[in-house]
Structure 1
Amino acid sequence: MKPEKTNSIQQDAWGNLKNFTNARIALGSTGNSIPLEEVLQFRFAHAKAKDAIVSVLDNDKLKSQIQKMGFSVWEAQSKVNNRDEYLKRPDLGRKLNESSEKLLKEAQEAFDIVVVVADGLSANAVNTNILPLLKEIIPKLKGYKVGFVLATMARVALGDPIGAALNSKFVVTCIGERPGLSSPESMGIYTTYAPKLGLTDERRNCISNIHKNGLDSKQAASLLFYLIKQSFAKQISGVDIKIDVKELLH
């Protein structure tokens, strides 16, 4: 007769809190160790985060879909040459390479808003979340002249020289955020009024955690449009923009 199997995992008393977060809490224990299943889940999540860092933008699909919406699209790259350099030299990821800067300036365009679709630290996040966001925000932007740039090897601040090269009043940088162990596909949005090279972070507004377990595309689009209206009305962005929750929810 086979012995009856028993559950050797000691559950934590606060296990009910797992219902309110994706964080790794209340993992339980087997003796002095973490349960094997939790160890394997951690390794799997770590592998997905590493994969996210080396993922690439689906430029062909994104360019095709944006052009179908009726917008001009350019492709640009920072001064970074490869992914290893990207991780080691964030300063180069904030500057356009010479050919990209020349391309954008030769366009001789002027926009109210330039949307920079950037790979950042998780291109997969952008590939997953950008088109649903655009479907929500584009109808709200009637009356604004909007252009798009697909940017690779990009840091957040790369939006500033891109916006300046295209004579844009306002730049929206949609970028893959640093992948976490519970959200490897999280996209962030950074907005800047009067973009130019050398601006610092207090001149930007940020919307973060856009992913399936975070902000959805409709919520993100509503907040983005609020920031656009505030920035154009006050001709500023960053810490001087105060979010009025009542107005936002109206």
Structure 2
Amino acid sequence: MVEIEKADGSEDYQISFLRQFTSARIGIGSSGAAIPTKPALEFKMAHAHARDAVYSRMDTEMLTDELIQFKLPVLALHSKATNREQYLQRPDMGRSLDELSSNRLADQITNNGIVIIIADGLSAAAINKNVLVLLKLLIPRLTDAGYKLAPICLVEQGRVAIGDEIAAELGASFSVMLIGERPGLSSADSMGAYLTYQPKPGLTDDARNCVSNIRTEGLALPTAADKIFYLIQESLKRKLSGVWLKDNQGLLNKL
């Protein structure tokens, strides 16, 4: 039997130890028929942060300046969604490039190689905060391993599937889509990575591998970089991705 926190903040039985394992709202107690004032205010604040994240803007100027360090071309692209309202109401428009962006890609055909695509998704704040740290860990490992890298693509108002079109137009054999995830009430800055072998328009999510909840308080960025690099290696070696590619990293060490 576990009794949750009382309105005055005391606890008859220990429950606080559970909170070290999760940021979920557990054992917040009650005050009459409602929850205590402090958790109620914290909930409203978290909801506000989530809404702010959805409407945040990717700092393309800052990212472009910082991405120069990787000595790769950087392409600024845009989906067919012209603004945030249209992006949210018309998911299909976030999955396709506008005409100007398609024309820009036509001059950048790479024929094979890995393309890294950065999109704002549903939390540009997550991209602004996390993507450069992750790439500083990931790109050197890819180049040291001898992988050919295509231009880095920055996509505004983009969704996951837009990476398939970009990779196909570039002629890339593999895509790494880094995108802001739908913000939760404890994770407004979460970034996801979607990995696809032989990407092309029309693929569905079963063709991708996803590494989710990449952030300081979730899947730590060094761990995420290790996982992404492992999955890229396995995918290219086995020539598949998605539900057909199993994540066996570290399993043998636990036997």
Q: Where on the TM-score scale, by shorter chain, does this alignment land: which range?
A: over 0.9
Using the size of structure 2 for normalisation, the TM-score is: 0.91
User: Which letter maps to 1:22?
Assistant: S
Deviation at 1:74?
0.2
| Aligned equivalents of 2:31, 2:12: Cα separation in 1 | 11
Alignment of 1:135-214 (within 5 A): 135-142=136-143, 143-146=146-149, 147-214=151-218
Residue 226 of structure 2 corresponds to which residue in structure 1? 222
SS in structure 1 opposite 2:244?
Answer: coil
1:235 to partner: Cα distance: 1.4
Contact 1:73 1:148 in 2 (8 A): yes
1:239 aligns with 2:240: no
Report matched runs for 1:1-250 at 5 Å. 8-9=8-9, 11=11, 13=13, 15-16=15-16, 17-142=18-143, 143-146=146-149, 147-246=151-250
* Structure 1 gap segments, 5+ residues each: 1-6
Q: Is the 8 A contact 1:10 1:28 kept in 2?
A: no
| Contact 1:11/1:29 (<8 A) preserved | no
Residues in 2 aligned to 1:248 and 1:114: alpha-carbon distance in whole angstroms = 30
Alignment length (residue pairs): 244
Cα shift readout 1:192-240 (whole Å, capped 9, x = no counterpart): 1111111111100000000111111110111111111111111111111
Unaligned ranges ≥5, structure 2:
1-6
TM-score (norm 1): 0.92
TM-aligned CA deviation for residue 14 of structure 1: 5.9
Give percent identity, aligned residues only: 46
* Backbone CA RMSD of aligned residues: 1.8
Shift of 1:61: 1.3
Cα distance in 1, alignment partners of residues 89 and 80 from structure 2: 13
Contact in 2 for aligned 1:49/1:180 (Cα 8 Å) = yes
Taking a change above 3 Å as real, the CA distance of residues 221 and 56 of structure 1, as seen in their structure-2 partners, is same
Cα separation, partners in 2 of 1:230 and 1:93, compared to 1, 3 Å: same
The structural deviation recorded for 1:88 is: 1.1
